[in-house]
Amino acid sequence: MKVRDPEISPAVVRRAALLSDAYAYAFQLLVYLLWESPDKHITMKTIDSIQTEYQAQLSRNAYSKMLEELSIMDQQFVMTMAKASEYPVSTSYLRTKLKRKPGYIGMYRRRLMDSQLITPAGYGKLKFTLPLFKQFLLDDGQYLVNYS
């Protein structure tokens, strides 16, 4: 059985919490990877050392499946959000980029909110709910999105 130092700095705990962003699977995965690390003391360096694997497993085990299950328009919506230069993303930006009317954007906004992929971030603004999901979309999502 591994022995760990029970003392973890508040800064390390905060960073781990931000990385998992209240997504249960992300939290479980992060804790597992931290536990499996060879470091006796969990530090910022430990988090740095597992972050690439953490992101890869989130992408492979959760995010790619979520993206593939979305409709084509839902996929285009989240990809457009990810590529926006400003974040959180305004719904007016999405309307312009997707060349759709407000009601059409509103329908997909609601669908993605119901799927818990996005959330409001102030008046007329949206953000992703999942940790590192935007980065996943930019790095890998474009290869999975169905534009047919």
| 97-103 long-range Cβ contacts below 8 angstroms, 24+ apart | none
Q: What is the DSSP letter of 137?
A: I
What is d(CA 45, CA 60) in angstroms, rounded to the nearest whole number? Answer: 24
Residue 11 neighbours by CB under 8 Å, 6+ apart: 44
Q: Are 62 and 129 in contact (CB under 8 A)?
A: no
The number of distinct structural domains making up the chain is: 2
Q: Does 59 lie in the same domain as 99?
A: no
81 plus 134 within the same structural domain: yes
Cα–Cα distance, 60 to 66 (Å, whole number): 10
66, 99 contact by CB (below 8 A): no
pLDDT tens digits, one per residue of 75-119? 999 999 999 999 999 999 999 999 999 999 999 999 999 999 999
Q: Which domain holds residue 139?
A: 70-144
Let me know if residue 62 belongs to a domain: yes
Residue 91 lies in a domain: yes
Q: The pTM is what? A: 0.89
Domain boundary among 19, 39, 67: 67
* pLDDT 10s digits, 23-77: 999 999 999 999 999 998 999 999 999 999 999 999 999 999 999 999 999 999 9
